[in-house]
Chains A and B, each alone.
Chain A
């Protein structure tokens, strides 16, 4: 088992399996690529395709036990390979070039110096070039070697350690964290635990029992059209006291390990329906479909369609908004009985109308926000892993592990004017052309070495 785990080929097969699975799943539609309406239609009208998409598209596939199992094995294999490399380096103190796939290139030169003088010259050259020097006596002669670029190995180890930290962050986040959505109207205190909607796989009961309220909501539009700045204050009250935390897009409010990120912003006109002076419907309506209008069920089979125009404009039969700034707010209310429209009215704040004995009022409007409530315990691991990985890769990119060997031997008897020979052989793991250049440059430099 251990042999399998430390096999780099197995690690590559596992990587390929994860890659192919992700690649295929990425082509399948999911809740990100289809609108909620189309996703729902698919569920109703094509259950077979829906089943495939809801099991094998990426966001779903990555939660299946098989995918998680293969990913876990890949993580284990990465860990085992990294540890194995460390152990081997620790034992041998160097990575043997001769036993691994490397490039080599050599030139042989004859020298007029005797063996000892040549040896001193090579040693001076290696020391001058800051090579890690080694020496070995063999039957062929003296081998002086120099090695450089060992930091690349440590870069690789750092990168893989970072990768493992990121792997571990996944389960830490899922098992120890929380994700949910909180939709609140401005200046309306609510209980966090009972209002937050936990996403699938999370439990809202784990959220602390706090009272939250959003205040002083602001939505700014450049030239009344482009989103510019959105935010407000989140007031959190717990038994210890109350705190006010500013939040805006890109600047989440953090409270006791929970992050509140602004994800949606909209208008909420207040609609009041009264019969005989008694209100039977009185709500701030958080409108989420400014283009199509939002529908609400009332008593007696009546439905209301409500639209909000922040900067109302009317041209003949056509109505709309000049900008997104609430300079001239008007609320359109249509009432339907079945499919038949039975009432329509435009209301400025404070306006009211009468329909079949029902007083319809729109006294004012507020804003609402949707806050993503999260607790990501794994984020520190992700940051640490990313840092290690990036630093490791950078070291790996800059370093080029290579070795130069000088084999010094006495010249043969037929080479009368030369007293010794020197074979310069370079080994490099990755860059053959660079190696060739370097060996030729060393050969030339040896001529200039005093």
Chain B
């Protein structure tokens, strides 16, 4: 890791951690001001993370998209960006930070533990498809993650309308939001898979090879495809749809942390 990258990254990590605590306090003890502080702190931490990414990009000379650390750095940035954009167009989504920030911390922590050695871009990554593939991968994960938050909050709010839960957005809005987020995530994941297939054709001479990462990405895509069909075609709404949004994320978690990355051509790229 570069010196300034490390400094700004730790500022970001601290910011997200404190922001999570503020949001948690705000919801449990019903303190609106803490939510405002928490949100502002998330924005500040995001700015610090942006600087950390810019420093790394400058020092290595390539987009941070190679191996676990760089992926977690860029990926969590896009997840927070998705949250901030959502918050901009849909203000009641502000408390989603209580679920988004700890997950971001987990992913960043996993990345930092794997080591952030500065390396040049390996030959296999030198393709313009890397921008499309990686960017849309994280956009889809960010959307699915916020859909998960929306579904989780729906289930909490539906159970009880008292205490801090009263401050969560309306049930109808949460339901609709999770559908929109899943639809966008599904679109982004489709772009990721399609661009990955074209890149793989140029790199390995085949567009699909049933490598574990490819298999899990197809599985998670099919899971969300089935999710959308159940909601759109069979009209599942409310609690069932919320459970779908929550449970579907496990397929994505497997894709990221699970079977694939230990033994895949996605790690042994050339």
A binds B: yes
Please encode chain A, from 425 to 445, with 1 for each CB lying within 8 Å of some chain B CB and 0 for all others: 000011111101000000000
- CB distance B204 to A431 under 8 Å? no
Residues of A within 8 A of B231 (CB): 430
Known: A12-B234, A15-B229, A372-B205. A390 touches B194 (CB 8 A): yes
- CB distance B218 to A22 under 8 Å? yes
Q: How many residues in A have their beta carbons less than 8 Å from beta carbons of B? A: 62
Restricting to B176-217, which residues have a CB under 8 Å from any CB of A?
176, 179-180, 183-184, 186-187, 190-191, 193-194, 197-198, 201-208, 210-212, 215-216
B7 → A minimal CB distance (Å) = 25
- CB distance A19 to B226 under 8 Å? yes
Which interface residue of A32, A173, A432 has the most chain B CB atoms within 10 A?
A32
Residues of B within 8 A of A281 (CB): none
CA distance A16 to B234 in the complex (A): 14
Q: Which of B127, B205, B233 contacts A261 (CB 8 A)?
A: B205
Residue of B nearest to A221 (CB): B120
Known: A230-B270, A250-B123. A390 touches B179 (CB 8 A): no
CA distance A295 to B219 in the complex (A): 41
Q: Which of A62, A228, A433 contacts B173 (CB 8 A)?
A: A433
Restricting to A235-279, which residues have a CB under 8 Å from any CB of B?
248-252, 259-265
Residues of B within 8 A of A434 (CB): 176
B223 within 8 Å of A (CB atoms): yes
Q: Which of A32, A250, A429 contacts B203 (CB 8 A)?
A: A250
Residues of A within 8 A of B91 (CB): none
Please encode chain A, from 384 to 400, with 1 for each CB lying within 8 Å of some chain B CB and 0 for all others: 00110110011011000
CA distance A62 to B214 in the complex (A): 13
CA distance A179 to B208 in the complex (A): 12
Please encode chain B, from 110 to 125, with 1 for each CB lying within 8 Å of some chain A CB and 0 for all others: 0000000001101110
Residue of A nearest to B124 (CB): A249
A26 within 8 Å of B (CB atoms): yes
- CB distance A227 to B123 under 8 Å? yes
CA distance A429 to B123 in the complex (A): 48
Binds A, one of B10-18, B40-48, B80-88, B259-267: B259-267
- CB distance A15 to B225 under 8 Å? yes
- CB distance A33 to B262 under 8 Å? yes
Listed in ascending order, the chain A residues whose CB lies under 8 Å from chain B are: 8-9, 11-12, 15-16, 18-19, 22-23, 26-27, 32-34, 58-59, 62, 101, 173, 179, 222, 226-230, 248-252, 259-265, 372-374, 376, 378-379, 382-383, 386-387, 389-390, 393-394, 396-397, 429-434, 436
Listed by A's residue number, 14 A-B pairs whose Cβ atoms lie within 8 Å are A8-B234, A12-B230, A26-B212, A33-B212, A59-B210, A228-B120, A230-B123, A249-B203, A250-B123, A372-B205, A376-B207, A387-B194, A393-B186, A397-B184
8 A-B pairs with least C-beta separation: A386-B194, A249-B123, A101-B235, A374-B205, A261-B205, A372-B205, A393-B187, A59-B210
